[in-house]
Structure 1
């Protein structure tokens, strides 16, 4: 899996509140509540929700199919945090033998591997690679064609 573009997160993103309805079921209420009642004073700022440390966060778009089984598809946008220490199970962005790649870090026995989410690609033993971890994927943004 390779990248199309890498963009740094804005160091102080402006607040952008989007409607964020409180989705709760109601029981035992008679009458008909206002449809707009759930929208009152609730907003969601995606920067606040997804970007934990703006100075160490970047975005990148994806090409390739090596991570499809893990929910990362061609054209998706990844939010990557450089401040997170990678651990087994994390999906990481790394420079491997001079190429940027996205893989899951796995511990198998005593050895670390970079594994794809596609059975067509074999796990790569980390000890055999020249690898520099750039960050841990915190979020995947997938847009549907509508």
Structure 2
């Protein structure tokens, strides 16, 4: 999966949006509660370290097994330590990729069995650009 890094300063303007007390049924519907538990600021919820955070746009389907789909907006934290199992943004031979890190085997793995792992060999230029902390998806429902 290729990613496009979105440059620019992350502006953290507080934005309180209602968070409902009851969870939304994704199976059988239940009566809705009219109670708002609190307000939630997505900046505080999604961005822990603003100075170390950037966004990237996912491109492709190699990470669908991790719930990352083509077009998703990825929140990436440069200050987090990447460990085996982390979803990372890496630069490999000059190209940004989103993969699962396997430090012990020196691999960047896809989360889709149709794609092979990428070996990080001594002659391969590779650097970790950050750990993906969230994938935000726009759901576009089009009638007819």
TM-score w.r.t. length of structure 1 = 0.82
Alpha-carbon RMSD across the aligned residues, in angstroms, is: 1.8
Segments of structure 2 that go 5 or more residues without pairing to the other structure are: 24-32
Matched, 1:135 2:135: no
Q: 1:61 aligns with which of 54, 57, 60?
A: 57
Segments of structure 1 that go 5 or more residues without pairing to the other structure are: 25-34
Higher helix proportion (structure 1 or 2): 1
Consecutive aligned runs of 4 or more in structure 1 exceeding 6 Å deviation: none
Matches within 5 A, 1:1-146: 1-8=1-8, 10=10, 12-23=11-22, 35-36=33-34, 38-39=35-36, 42-107=38-103, 110-128=104-122, 129-146=124-141
Q: Secondary structure at the match of 1:62?
A: strand
User: In the alignment, is the contact (CA less than 8 A) between 1:94 and 1:102 conserved in 2?
Assistant: yes
Q: How far apart in 2 are the matches of 1:9 and 1:120?
A: 36
Q: Secondary structure at the match of 1:73?
A: coil
